[in-house]
Amino acid sequence: MDKKKRAQEIFTRLARRYPAPQPALHWTNPWELLVATALSAQCTDVRVNKVTPGLFERWPDIPSLAQADVADIEDIVRSTGFFRNKAKNLKAAAQRIMSDYDGEVPQTMAELITLGGVARKTANIVLSNAFNIHEGIAIDTHVKRLTFHMGLTTNTDPVRIEKDLMPLFPRNTWGDINHFLVYFGREICPARKPKCNICELNDICPKKGV
């Protein structure tokens, strides 16, 4: 089975397993998704979901966070790790959205990655989930690990992995494939002990590095 056919079969099987893929992060608008995704770096979604309600209660919108004291933001996001950097970046992102984008989260990759703390992964998640715009595939640790095991990429750099994956899946599914691999990485193919014996991809996965 060639790489593209394998990718398509992987997608078909995972779509059957996860018929309604959604981000594990809690959000109600593009700004909340951007903030939650930025906070999720080196942190679990469960922890982020415990932090964001208090954050959004105190600063419910972009203008209020743009005016917030960084030390106060630090106090709220402390438990997510790298809290000083995250607090500084969140305030900078809010300020830039207010000054350059009329107070609205921008809807292009080129604009999003100008915001503090926003790289391609966060931008892809915001674009695909909040705006249904597919400019790329969000590459996190699960996507990186699983696509290597599955023989869909030999690269380790997220940008190169993304370039390898994009031709293998229809553009309108780029957001879903991220969700599928994140869910599957947590449930069936964790880093320490993949459950190959109960994996529905067992017969088509080359198991590289397993």
Q: Which residues does the annotation mark as catalytic?
A: 121, 140
What is the widest separation between alpha-carbon atoms in the chain?
56
Whole-number Å distance between alpha carbons of 52 and 202: 37
Whole-number Å distance between alpha carbons of 39 and 105: 17
Of 175, 181, 210, the C-alpha closest to 194 is 210
Give the angle subtended at the CA of 47 by the CAs of 51 and 25, to the nearest 5°. 85
By residue count, the chain amounts to 210
